[in-house]
Amino acid sequence: MIRVLIIAASVVFARGLASLLAEDDRLEAIDIRSDGGAASAHPDVILASGMALDENTFDAVPVVLLSDEPFDGWDHAGRVRAWLPLSAAPNEIAAAIVAANEGLTVITPAQSEAMFEAPRMTQRATGLSEPLSPRESQVLRMLAEGLGNKEIAWQLGISDHTVKFHVASILGKLGASTRTEAVAVGLRRGLVPI
């Protein structure tokens, strides 16, 4: 049984969360707090909503955060294992608590899309007619490091011919006529880290 401390700005909301947890045999709400203070028993996971935690509230205990507010700058970011919207379904909250107890971090589909779509959006924003493939991006970065075809082939475990093919594709997609120009275009468009 996973012991859960519920901390919320409203006692009524905290009780509602406790009743949701009571429906899951894996979870037990051991205490409810509306003041952010310490609990009477040591929890396995903290379910927090609407308020920051006291600095002394079980420093090593993972947190599942229910909030629609921006997460930037929250003091306990390293402890948060899931950040769910207030509209999260009871089974989503329960799954996040179980995952947090196991040391896992949970992200919502919207958070995943934001994290993994960002690199693709960067390539689209660069004005490329066709984005570079992951391998082409890797070869472009190696070109920026000044590596030749043989060095790139050796490091990637591919043939010289394959490297030449990737370089030709990169030149075409970036509208460059030389390797140096391709690197310069890649730098300007944010495809090569500085």
Q: Are 140 and 192 in contact (CB under 8 A)?
A: yes
Tell whether the model's pLDDT for residue 73 goes beyond 50: no
Q: Which residues pair with 16 in a beta bridge?
A: none
Q: Which of 3-7, 105-109, 129-133 has the highest mean pLDDT?
A: 3-7
Tell whether the model's pLDDT for residue 42 goes beyond 70: yes
The tokens for 40 are: 């009477």
Q: Which of 33-47, 91-105, 118-132 has the highest mean pLDDT?
A: 91-105
- Pure H helices in 37-108: 90-101
Tell whether the model's pLDDT for residue 77 goes beyond 70: no
Q: Are 22 and 39 in contact (CB under 8 A)?
A: no
Backbone φ and ψ for 95, nearest 5 degrees, come out as -65, -40
pLDDT confidence of residue 116: 62
Q: Are 15 and 65 in contact (CB under 8 A)?
A: no
Pick the more confident residue, 143 or 54. Answer: 143
Q: How confident is the model at residue 136 (pLDDT cuts 50, 70, 90)?
A: very high
pLDDT confidence of residue 153: 92
pLDDT confidence of residue 167: 94
Question: pTM, whole model, 2 decimals?
Answer: 0.57
pLDDT tens-digit readout, 99-127: 999 989 888 877 777 666 655 545 555 56
Pick the more confident residue, 77 or 170. Answer: 170
Tell whether the model's pLDDT for residue 25 goes beyond 80: yes
Domains with residue ranges and CATH for the chain: 2-108 (3.40.50.2300), 119-188 (1.10.10.10)
